[in-house]
């Protein structure tokens, strides 16, 4: 805070953003509540909460102030306009809690409403300079490294997530092969939709939440964020990209991708798979404390280019070959710092406690296949880079 | 838009807000993608999307423009600072798509980052007036009424949600009573945590998602947003508040609460339950097209006060009696317009197509109980108010 000249951080936890408000969750232990966290320099954070949520507020372990300390209803009587009432409430809060100087706002919320609110606040409270940080804000940077307890939580989420992948493979293999298809007991084809339903049960059983995941076959596997068509039958010899990124009740994510072919893999898929695996292993050997994420992205691009694949480095708009970045930080968000951008400024350096995905891939939608291999890695206190994803990486699943 | 003097709406769909970005979901059919929707007055909405998500973009049914139309990577090379690059990209988009005049921003995102971005945009693009709407914004108002297709979706979510509640009651009743407890096969007590696990499986089986729900017994039932302590045993004769608010894959929510006692209910609980039920029925008879939500909240407060209960109308900080508002709109968000505020301006009127909860309750945490009954109501095209919650409301569940 001192480095950035910030006197106070205010982290808003508005209604409806549960699970999508990592800055707020970082302070509130992912408790389900609406409130506002105030951090004054060199002081402990304070949570403003509502009576209805006093149990959740208690469970955060933070110092607490009930919003009832301020006469919210009287303010609304005097200022029926909700924007004016909100500004008036904050004036009183700022006065009582000695909030002044450079005050930066964080948290996830309706961007238009907060733009209107913060503008009016800046106009009407001249003793406060309202600040918004655009890139790598102070909370994102704090969240960029994880402490040993967070790593242990993430290790457990990783184990549970991998168990779901293993159970899914078992489920698929439990079906009968007929010609090039897998069939259910009723003789109809096993579909992507059937597998997705199974995955959702397995996630729920293990207390994992996933707003979405990818189980895409053939051409769809060739489009990185295609989540898969529920009606597609599960056929032999086609690449299946299974990308699972759930979080547990504490809000921490895992992210893993495996690509497999049932029964056999065509030779061109085997070749591309080998290229991806070798890129994966080569870049993992290069990770080093102090390394700049962008250099690893460039390394992988060049690795693939040497093998004859297009990449985003030489052809930023390509939809064939290697079409995305190497990975992303992971924690209370599925995409957070550090990023591995191909272009633009990249000031981050790899450090002890960072958790990030490593996910090279090759995509050939027109040829009907795509491959991505992804583990979640972390850098331990000795500067060693280790996988949190205990799962084999085999292309061919024998039936 | 004309009424509010807005020329263009821009709805941002940043990364990570899936399921918490109702304004974006409203336009994109809840597809899982990152992008920006642009609505120019009297024109069809356009979605700017990324190649990686071209399948999800296609599935929205919107007119599409690939971000690759603009040289994002060249811009990043010229402007390594990401904020500057973002502003430069929007300058070009605004120029090409003729975005000018009063341009209002919507969607859920990091409030500080967007504050910084919109401020800089306003400074650097003088031909655009950047607008943030604070309250009842134009998209919230559009979402306030549902068309028949949305009502049908919400009816189905309601049926599935009620089926989960029924299955849960069956599950509880399948356990053996021993003294005042329910016990599992291994002889240990059935707990809130056991029931919650069952509920999560049932939700997943039916394709419903719930970031959270309330299953709280005794004193916890007396704190409206207490989600329940997993270790609490399920005992007879105590109020259990079960408040379930899941959404389906299309993103629409249902919201239902039932309060029950297993085996028997103490007389004071029976009395309070009758008060809640009678308040519920009395207010539902009063609903009328053109009615102002706040008047119904006041009606219920006075109803309870006549029966000797404290309420937020006469004692805004009370934590006993009737401590919250009568309900809230429901749709792509679990809390949306119309609201039923006790204080402050309330300009909404009940209209055909509105969907909202009706949820009177009485809370006595110190006496160890709380009661809330909640149905999701809608106003049909004839102005009749009907429940979307096909579920009995019985206090005592016989074992």
| A264 has pLDDT over 90 | yes
Answer with the one of B94, B123, B142 that is the final residue of a domain.
B142
Does B204 lie in the same domain as B113? Answer: no
pLDDT at B115: 98
Does A97 lie in the same domain as A79? Answer: yes
Does A324 lie in the same domain as A207? Answer: yes
pLDDT at B50: 95
The mean pLDDT of chain A is: 96
CB-CB neighbours of B381 under 10 Å: 9
pLDDT at A2: 86
| B367 has pLDDT over 90 | yes
pLDDT at A17: 83
Nearest CA in chain B to A32: B212
The domain of B310 spans 145-397
Give residue A315's pLDDT band: very low, low, confident or very high (50, 70, 90).
very high
DSSP 8-state secondary structure symbol assigned to residue B51: G
CB-CB under 8 Å, A109 with B76:
no
Predicted TM-score (pTM) of the model is 0.94
- Answer yes or no: is B277 within a domain: yes
With the C-alpha atoms ordered B186, B187, B188, B194, is the resulting torsion angle positive or negative?
positive
Would you call the peptide bond into A61 cis, given omega within 30 degrees of 0 as the criterion? no
Tell me the residues of chain A between 131 and 170 that have a Cβ less than 8 Å away from chain B: 131-135, 137
Does A331 lie in the same domain as A308? Answer: yes
Does B184 lie in the same domain as B120? Answer: no
For B147-187, write each residue's pLDDT tens digit.
999 999 999 999 999 999 999 999 999 999 998 999 999 99
Count CA within 13 A, CB hemisphere, residue B42: 3
CB-CB under 8 Å, A52 with B324:
yes
For A362-384, write each residue's pLDDT tens digit.
999 999 999 999 999 999 999 99
Tokens 């995509």 locate to: A363
pLDDT at B33: 94
Cα B79 to Cα B190: distance, rounded to the nearest angstrom: 61
Residue pair A275/A397 in contact (Cβ under 8 Å)? The answer is no
The mean pLDDT of chain B is: 96
For B273-331, write each residue's pLDDT tens digit.
999 999 999 999 999 999 999 999 999 999 999 999 999 999 999 999 999 999 999 99
The DSSP string of A44-74 is --EEEE-GGGHHHHHHTTSEEEEGGGS-HHH
Does B272 lie in the same domain as B225? Answer: yes
CB-CB under 8 Å, A17 with B108:
yes
pLDDT at A346: 85
Does B136 lie in the same domain as B167? Answer: no
CB-CB under 8 Å, B134 with A83:
yes
- Answer yes or no: is A3 within a domain: no
| A382 CA: distance to closest CA in chain B (Å) | 31
| A205 has pLDDT over 90 | no
CATH number (domain holding residue B100): 3.40.350
| B382 CA: distance to closest CA in chain A (Å) | 31
Nearest CA in chain A to B248: A211
DSSP 8-state secondary structure symbol assigned to residue A247: B
pLDDT at B183: 96
Does B236 lie in the same domain as B87? Answer: no
| B207 has pLDDT over 90 | no
Query: Which of B15, B65, B112, B342 is best to mutate for the A interface (most A CBs within 10 A)?
Result: B112
| A268 CA: distance to closest CA in chain B (Å) | 22
Least confident among A205-209, B114-118, B311-315:
A205-209
Answer with the one of B91, B117, B142 that is the final residue of a domain.
B142
Cα B360 to Cα B278: distance, rounded to the nearest angstrom: 10
pLDDT at B211: 81
Taking residues B335-355, report their average pLDDT: 94
Report the candidate in B54, B8, B20 with the shortest Cα–Cα distance to residue B35: B54
Taking residues B234-261, report their average pLDDT: 96
Residues of B in Cβ contact (< 8 Å) with A81 = 135, 345
Residues of A in Cβ contact (< 8 Å) with B211 = 18-19, 32, 209
Does A180 lie in the same domain as A169? Answer: yes
Nearest CA in chain A to B81: A345
CB-CB neighbours of A198 under 10 Å: 18
CB-CB neighbours of B157 under 10 Å: 26
Provide the residue count of chain B.
399
For the complex shown, is ipTM > 0.85? Answer: yes
DSSP 8-state secondary structure symbol assigned to residue A145: B
CB pairs under 8 A between A and B: 241
DSSP 8-state secondary structure symbol assigned to residue A318: -
Does A153 lie in the same domain as A108? Answer: no
Cα A177 to Cα A190: distance, rounded to the nearest angstrom: 10
pLDDT at B345: 85
Residues of B in Cβ contact (< 8 Å) with A20 = 16-21, 108
Count CA within 13 A, CB hemisphere, residue B165: 32
Taking residues A82-89, report their average pLDDT: 96
B12, B117, B211 ranked by CB distance to A19: nearest: B211
Residues of B in Cβ contact (< 8 Å) with A316 = 68, 71-73
CATH number (domain holding residue B222): 3.90.230.10
Nearest CA in chain B to A67: B317
- Answer yes or no: is B234 within a domain: yes
Residues of B in Cβ contact (< 8 Å) with A251 = none
Does A158 lie in the same domain as A138? Answer: no
Cα B215 to Cα B196: distance, rounded to the nearest angstrom: 7
Tokens 């149905």 locate to: B375
For B65-94, write each residue's pLDDT tens digit.
999 999 999 999 999 999 999 999 999 999
Would you call the peptide bond into A266 cis, given omega within 30 degrees of 0 as the criterion? no
Query: Which of B102, B103, B115, B135 is best to mutate for the A interface (most A CBs within 10 A)?
Result: B115
| A16 has pLDDT over 90 | no
B32, B55, B135 ranked by CB distance to A83: nearest: B135
| B205 has pLDDT over 90 | no
Q: Provide the number of structural domains found in chain B.
A: 2
Residue pair A301/A308 in contact (Cβ under 8 Å)? The answer is no
Nearest CA in chain B to A106: B112
Q: Assess B314–A contact: CB distance below 8 Å, yes or no.
A: no
B12, B111, B224 ranked by CB distance to A52: nearest: B224
Does A113 lie in the same domain as A36? Answer: yes
Answer with the one of B104, B123, B142 that is the final residue of a domain.
B142
The DSSP string of B221-245 is GGSTT----TT-B-BTTS-EEEEE-
Would you call the peptide bond into A338 cis, given omega within 30 degrees of 0 as the criterion? yes
Q: Assess A249–B contact: CB distance below 8 Å, yes or no.
A: no
| A207 has pLDDT over 90 | no
Q: Assess B90–A contact: CB distance below 8 Å, yes or no.
A: no
- Answer yes or no: is B1 within a domain: no
Taking residues A296-314, report their average pLDDT: 97
């Amino acid at each position: 805070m001192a480095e950035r000249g910030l006197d106070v951080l205010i982290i808003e936890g508005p209604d409806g953003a549960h699970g999508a408000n990592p800055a707020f969750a970082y302070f509130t232990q992912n408790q389900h509540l609406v409130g506002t966290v105030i951090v004054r320099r060199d002081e402990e954070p304070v949570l403003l909460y509502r009576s209805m949520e006093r149990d959740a507020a208690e469970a955060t372990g933070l110092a607490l102030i009930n919003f009832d300390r301020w006469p919210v209803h009287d303010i609304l009587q005097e200022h029926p306009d909700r924007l004016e009432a909100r500004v008036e409430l904050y004036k009183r809060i700022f006065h009582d809690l000695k909030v002044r100087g450079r005050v930066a706002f964080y948290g996830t919320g309706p961007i238009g409403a907060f733009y209107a609110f913060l503008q009016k606040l800046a106009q009407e409270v001249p003793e406060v300079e309202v600040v918004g940080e655009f890139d790598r804000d102070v909370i994102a940077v704090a969240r960029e490294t994880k402490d040993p307890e967070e790593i242990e939580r993430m290790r457990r989420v990783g184990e549970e997530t991998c168990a779901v992948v293993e159970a899914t493979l078992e489920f698929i293999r439990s079906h009968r092969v007929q010609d090039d298809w897998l069939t259910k007991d009723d003789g109809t084809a096993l579909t992507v939709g059937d597998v997705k339903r199974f995955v959702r049960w397995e996630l729920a059983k293990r207390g994992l939440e996933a707003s979405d995941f990818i189980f895409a076959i053939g051409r769809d596997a060739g489009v990185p964020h295609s989540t898969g068509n529920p009606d597609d039958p599960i056929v032999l010899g086609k690449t299946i990209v299974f990308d699972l990124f759930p979080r547990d009740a504490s809000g921490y994510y895992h992210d893993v991708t495996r690509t497999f072919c049932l029964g056999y893999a065509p030779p061109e898929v085997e070749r591309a798979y080998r290229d991806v695996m070798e890129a994966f292993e080569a870049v993992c050997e290069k990770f080093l404390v102090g390394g700049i994420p962008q250099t690893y992205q460039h390394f992988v691009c060049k690795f693939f280019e040497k093998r004859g694949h297009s990449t985003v480095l030489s052809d930023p708009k390509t939809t064939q070959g290697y079409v995305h970045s190497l990975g992303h930080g992971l924690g209370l968000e599925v995409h957070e710092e550090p990023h591995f951008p191909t272009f633009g400024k990249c000031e981050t350096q790899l450090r002890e406690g960072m958790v990030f995905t490593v996910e090279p891939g090759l995509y050939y939608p027109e040829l009907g296949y795509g491959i991505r291999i992804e583990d979640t890695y972390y850098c331990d206190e000795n500067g060693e880079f280790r996988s949190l994803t205990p799962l084999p990486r085999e292309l061919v699943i024998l039936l």
